[in-house]
Amino acid sequence: MTDVHLSLDYKAGTNSKFLCRMFKGDVSKIGDYSCDSNVDIVKSGIEAMSSIKGDADFILHSGDFGEHFALSHTSTLESGVQIQAYLDQFFPETPIIFSIGNHEVWPLQSQRPNDPQFKGIADAVSSIFTNEEYAAFVKNAYYSKVIGGLRILSLNTALYYGMNPEAAFLFGDPGGQFAWIASELDLAEQLGQKVLIVGHVPPGFGYSLPDRLWPMLNDELVNSLELPEERKGLIVGCFWGHEHRDSLRIGETVAHWIAPALTTWKDRNPGVRLYEFDDNDYSILSYKQYSLDLKKAIETQEYTWDLLYTSQEVGLTTLNQDQAKKRIERIFSDQEEWDQFVYLENGGADHEPISDYHKLRLFCGMQFLKVTDYIKCKFNQEEEQEEY
C-alpha cells in the first residue's frame, strides 16, 4: 500500500475549496476525487487487505501518509499514527516495512541527511520497528528487515527528490545510502539471501518532468540497483509509489513496479495490491490489483474493494525484468494494450485522454532510467515523429 494521504480534517458537506484547495463543491461523506482520503476510506482499505490476505507474510507501506495540504507537521504525524493504528488492528502479527515519502516531512518535500524530524516520523509508526531498525530510521530514514531468506531494503529516495530544496546542495553519497545499499547487497549474497527493494519516489521519469529525482542522484541510485550479469538474480524486484498511477519501469537487470495510491486525490480510484512470491527462491510470481470505485461507492454509500485485474490478465507470466520489458513493448505497439494500460493506471476511473507528447515521455521513461539515456530516447523519438 502506498500514498494513503489521510486527511483527518475531512468532513462531509465541507466545501472542497477550503478542505482540499480544489474547488468542486461540497464533498460527500464517502469521499471525493478532489480531496485526499478520509478516515473511513483508509480503514476500509486496510480492512479489505485483511479480508483479501489476512495471513500476509509482510506488508509494504511505501510512504506519504500525510495529506497533500497539511498545515503543520503535527497534523501529518497524526495521520501516520492513525494509519498505523489501523494496520496494528487488522494485522497485529504481520511484519510491516515502511518507507519515508515526501509528505512525511516538514516543510513539505524538505529533508536533509541526519534530519531531526526523522525521529517524529519513526515514532508515528514505532510499533513496526525493532530497536535496531528504529535507530537506523531515526538516523537517515533507511533500514533493512530480514524475513526468512529475504532481505528487504527500505530506502529513503525522497531525500533525492527534485522538489526537495535541500537536495540541490547534496553531492556524492548523501546520508551514506548508496554505500549502505552496496554493503547490504554483499551481505545478502554472502548469507544466501535474496533482496527486495522498497521506497517511495522511483528512479527515472514519468509524465511530469519536474516530478523526479535530482539528475546526479537519480543516476547514482540506478547504478546502485543495477547488478552485473552474474548477480542478476540477487534483487527480486523494486517496489515504489509516489506517482499515484499503476505503472512499471525496467532497468538493465531489474524490474520496477509502481503501485497506485490509496488516496482518492486527483481523480483516480484508490487501490491496494497483493504480490505473490515463490516460497523457495522469493521470485515474484504475480500480483492482484484491487480498487475502490469511488463513483459507485458514493452512489451506494458503501465501500467495496473489488479485484480490478491480475498481472496474468495483462500478459505477465511472472514479474521479472524480461516479462516487464515485453509488457512495455506491447503497451506501445498495440492500441488496445495502450488503452487498457491507461484505464488500469487510473484504477478504472474516468480520465482525460493522454496527449502524444506525454505518451512519448512515458515511452522513454519506462525504458530508460538514467537521465542521458532518457534524453537521447526522447530526442530520437521526436526526430522520428518530425520525419514521419
Examine residue 11 and state whether it is found in any structural domain, yes or no. no
* Bridge-based pairing state of the strands 150-154 and 143-147: antiparallel
What would the mean pLDDT of 177-192 be, rounded to a whole number? 98
For strands 96-98 and 59-61, give the pairing: parallel
Q: The pTM is what?
A: 0.95
Residue 5, in any domain of the structure: no
Q: What percent of the chain has pLDDT over 70?
A: 94
The grid cell for 16 is 472542497
Coil, strand, or helix at residue 141? coil
At residue 69 the predicted structure's pLDDT band, cuts being 50, 70 and 90, is: confident
Residue 64 within any structural domain of the chain: yes
For residue 133, give the DSSP letter: H
- Quick check: 91 pLDDT over 50? yes
11 confidence band (pLDDT: 50, 70, 90): confident
Read off the amino acid at residue 314.
V
Q: Does the residue 68 lie in any domain?
A: yes
Into how many domains does the chain fold?
1
Relative orientation angle of helices 321-333 and 335-345, to the nearest 10 degrees = 110
The more confident residue out of 126 and 384 is 126
Residue range 184-194: mean pLDDT, rounded: 98
Q: CATH number of the domain that 313 lies in?
A: 3.60.21.10
Residue 174: asked if its preceding bond is cis (omega within 30°), the reply is no
pLDDT for position 89: 98
Does residue 2 form part of some domain?
A: no
Phi then psi dihedrals of residue 329, to 5 deg: -60, -40
CA distance 303 to 204: 34
Burial 206-239 (b: 16+ CB within 10 A, else e): bbeeeebbbeebbbbbbebbbbeeeeebbbbbbb
Question: Which is nearest to 145 in space by CA: 92, 198, 190?
Answer: 198
In a domain, 61, yes or no: yes
Task: Assign 352 a pLDDT band (cuts: 50, 70, 90).
Answer: confident
CB 62 within 8 A of CB 240: yes
Q: Which three cell numbers stand for residue 337?
A: 494494450
DSSP 8-class letter at 326: H
- In the chain, the amino acid numbered 133 is E
Q: Which of the four pLDDT bands, split at 50, 70 and 90, describes residue 9?
A: confident
pLDDT in tens, 280-327: 999 999 999 999 999 999 999 999 999 999 999 999 999 999 999 999
Is 6 part of any domain? no
Are the C-beta atoms of 28 and 12 separated by less than 8 Å? yes
Q: Strands, DSSP E only, in the chain?
A: 59-61, 96-98, 143-147, 150-154, 194-198, 235-240, 247-250, 255-258, 271-277, 284-292, 305-310
Please, what is the average pLDDT of the chain?
93
Nearest to 85 by CA among 111, 120, 124: 124
Model confidence band, residue 270 (pLDDT cutoffs 50, 70, 90): very high
Q: How far apart are CA 368 and CA 289, in angstroms?
A: 25
Asked whether the predicted pLDDT for residue 388 surpasses 50, the reply is: no
The pLDDT, as a whole number, for residue 23 is 46
Q: What radius of gyration, in Å, describes the C-alpha atoms of the chain? A: 20
Strands 271-277 and 255-258, how do they pair?
A: unpaired
Q: Are β-strands 284-292 and 271-277 bridged in parallel, bridged antiparallel, or unpaired?
A: antiparallel
> Nine-digit cell at 242?
509516489
Instruction: Enter the C-alpha cell of residue 14.
Output: 465541507
Q: Does any domain span residue 4?
A: no
Q: Name residue 298's amino acid.
A: I
What range defines the domain where residue 246 resides?
Answer: 16-387
Contact 233, 282 (CB under 8 A): no
Report the half-sphere exposure of 139 (CA within 13 A, side-chain side).
Answer: 14
Give φ, ψ of 254 to 5 degrees.
-140, 150
State mean pLDDT over 68-75: 89
